[in-house]
Amino acid sequence: MSTLPQISPGEATGEAAELLADLKKSIGSVPNMAKAMANSPALLKGWMALSGALAGGDLPASVRERLALASAEYNRCTYCLSAHTFLGKNVAKLDAEEIDLARSAQSRDPHVAALLALSDAIARGRGTIDEADLKDARVAGVTDAEIAEVIGNLALNILTNYFNIVAGTDNDFPRVAPREA
């Protein structure tokens, strides 16, 4: 059950109304997470800005979705796991095996696997990683821009994971539960 009200676009006022309208215009709908974030237009605006900026970076949607799946699984966020399973399949066109592998920070693609391993090491180390983790990523061809964007995506995903867990956001995607610990 949601601990924050979900403000529908029709009920929103001021900046929240403008942001929700912009979101609907850009993606065609307003997910429940955004409706809950509308309680703070500053948060909604920040999430939209960071998400939009990273979408224009070097990491393609298929990689960003895998990073989101790994983060959602690690942080045990059912909402984000559900959303990114849906988006991974229907938008990024990932197959079921690749979606499943991403939940464990793995991929059949060696370059993507290196990006996921780096993100996982950063998350598990709470920002501290072994020099070997960074060296392994570089040996796999991960660029400086990709390293920076992995960190940006991890920050974005932790934001949404923690927000949805605390807010108890009502899931508007086919439900996917985290694996048993």
Distance between first and last Cα of the chain? 23
Task: Report DSSP letters for 55-116, one per residue.
Answer: HTSSS-HHHHHHHHHHHHHHHT-HHHHHHHHHHHHHTS---HHHHHHHHTT--SSHHHHHHH
Q: How far is CA 154 from the centre of its chain?
A: 7
Amino acid, single-letter form, for residue 148: A
How would you write the pLDDT of the chain (181 residues) with one tens digit per residue?
Answer: 789 999 999 999 999 999 999 999 999 999 999 999 999 999 999 999 999 999 999 999 999 999 999 999 999 999 999 999 999 999 999 999 999 999 999 999 999 999 999 999 999 999 999 999 999 999 999 999 999 999 999 999 999 999 999 999 999 999 999 998 7
Phi first, then psi: give them for residue 86, nearest 5 degrees: -60, -50
| pTM, 2 dp | 0.95
Determine the pLDDT at residue 32. 97
